[in-house]
Amino acid sequence: MLEGEKVKLREYRKEDIPKAWEYFNDPDVRRFLNPGIPFPLKLEDEEKWYEEQTSRKDTYNFAIVIKDTGEYIGGCGINSVDWKNRHACVGIFLGKPFWSKGYGTDAMKVLVNFIFSQMNINKVYLNVFSFNQRAIKSYEKCGFKVEGILREHIYRDGKYHDEYIMSILRSEWENR
Ligand SMILES: CC(C)(COP(=O)(O)OP(=O)(O)OC[C@H]1O[C@@H](n2cnc3c(N)ncnc32)[C@H](O)[C@@H]1OP(=O)(O)O)[C@@H](O)C(=O)NCCC(=O)NCCS
């Protein structure tokens, strides 16, 4: 169920924390993730995140590992769920050494399949900065479409950038 062609999704483990912190704290990774001021993250913040994740309501995080080796390469998860309107917001990141090898697309497909087949959700959506072309391409390969544009919503590197909302509907997932 939580296995793709290249990756597996599994629970987060304490031993993932140093790598998660290293990958997540890389400025090249953080500039695509954090709409706020991209301050460096403390190891203690990562440990706190790990300790709190099980108590957060409607948040479900997975570690992404390479299927053949079990190496931890990043994370993905459901950030919030609206159970009445039946939509879920998702996110994903990989450590920089693992970009553009097909792992992210595979992991997102597994996550979306899990949500539609196990959680009775009607729409999965995410937010992505317009300058994150790698992510946009990857999401399109998973069947996501741009459904809205937040104009000049992100100030980064001295400029304003649009932020896109992308989504896939259950009906689209079923017809793929
Ligand atoms: C976004 C992310 C999860 C995508 O995973 P990935 O494994 O790197 O992506 P994939 O290799 O599966 O697919 C990327 C696609 O974009 C293409 N691509 C790479 N760089 C690109 C660029 N600058 N412009 C356009 N397309 C690009 C790749 O060629 C690939 O397409 P292809 O398979 O048809 O050749 C990963 O890059 C990542 O974690 N980035 C940093 C954090 C981040 O941006 N998270 C998402 C926030 S919304």
The domains of the chain are located at: 7-174
Residue 74 confidence (pLDDT) above 70: yes
With a pLDDT cut of 70, the percent of the chain lying above it is 99
Helices (H), the chain: 17-25, 27-30, 43-52, 103-118, 133-141, 170-174
CB of 105 sitting under 6 A from ligand 1? yes
pLDDT tens column, 95-152: 999 999 999 999 999 999 999 999 999 999 999 999 999 999 999 999 999 999 999 9
Closest atom of ligand 1 relative to the 108 alpha carbon? 3
What is the rounded distance in angstroms from the CA atom of residue 132 to the CA atom of residue 59?
A: 24
**95 C-beta closer than 6 A to ligand 1:** no
Measure 130 CA to ligand 1 centroid, in angstroms. 13
Contacts of 109 (CB under 8 A, 6+ apart): 4, 142
What SS3 state is found at 21?
Answer: helix
Give the residue among 134, 7, 1 at the shortest CA–CA distance from 73.
7
CA distance 21 to 41: 8
Hey, is 4 helix, strand or coil? coil
pLDDT recorded at residue 53: 84
pLDDT category of residue 58 using cuts at 50, 70 and 90: confident
**Looking at residue 34, what DSSP letter applies?**
-
What's the pTM value of the predicted model, to 2 decimals? 0.97
pLDDT at residue 75 above 70?
yes
What is residue 94's predicted lDDT score, i.e. its pLDDT? 98
- For position 1, what pLDDT does the model report? 66
Q: What is the mean pLDDT of the chain?
A: 96
- Atom 12, ligand 1: residue with shortest CA distance: 102
Q: Does 7-174 carry CATH code 3.40.630.30? A: yes
Q: Is 140 in the pocket of ligand 1 (CB under 6 A)?
A: no
pLDDT category at 54 given cuts 50, 70, 90 is: confident
pLDDT of residue 82: 97
